[in-house]
Amino acid sequence: MSGTNFTKQTEVQTESREKVFIEKVIFINRVTKVTKGGKNMAFSALVVVGDTDGSAGFALGKANEVAEAIKKGIKRAKKKLVVINRKDTTIPHEVYGHFGAVQILLKPASKGTGVIASSTIRSICECAGIHDILTKILKKSTNPINVVKATFMGFNQLKKA
């Protein structure tokens, strides 16, 4: 169950046009809390949401069932959308992002290169509408939550093209 990717598209009505969001489940974690009465299981789902037009957001949803955790994550991620500066189909310049033990290098790529990245970063780029990018995780930790946070830290450092 852990580490599975699910893709779902939803349509949200706005004032004059439709906005289509791509929702990707990055990671599902099963957590067990041992109490006096027994074991209590819960789930957490790391979700990335984007409109493929330069906006993306992420959130961690927690609940007693997987479907509820995903719904909570999607709802929270849509509230925390961030605008990512792009130059055509790539990013304007090279940038480093770090969070915790994770350090990520994000480099612009020429048109037609594609997304060369880990599955976690690839999902974020697809949601944000970035089609050409080179990435590398520089430190040894590949914890999906920290990778997502480091990627968004890097995207926040981007200047306008």
Are 107 and 117 in a shared domain? yes
Are 73 and 10 in a shared domain? yes
What pTM was estimated for this model as a whole? 0.85
Domain end marker among 82, 110, 142: 82
The dihedral over CA atoms of 145, 140, 137, 78, expressed in degrees to the nearest 10, equals 0
In tens digits, what is the pLDDT along the chain, a chain of 161 residues?
555 556 565 555 444 466 789 999 999 999 999 999 999 999 999 999 999 998 999 999 999 999 999 999 999 999 999 999 999 899 999 999 999 999 999 999 999 999 999 999 999 999 999 999 999 999 888 899 999 999 999 999 998 86
CATH number at residue 17: 3.30.160.20
Closest CA to 91 of 48, 154, 21, 24: 154
Domain end marker among 49, 67, 82: 82
pLDDT at 2: 55
Check: CB of residue 161 under 8 Å from CB of residue 85.
yes
Residue 69 lies in a domain: yes
pLDDT at 83: 93
Closest CA to 50 of 7, 97, 1: 7
Q: How many domains does the chain have?
A: 2
Are 97 and 59 in a shared domain? no
Q: Which domain holds residue 55?
A: 6-82
Check: CB of residue 152 under 8 Å from CB of residue 82.
yes
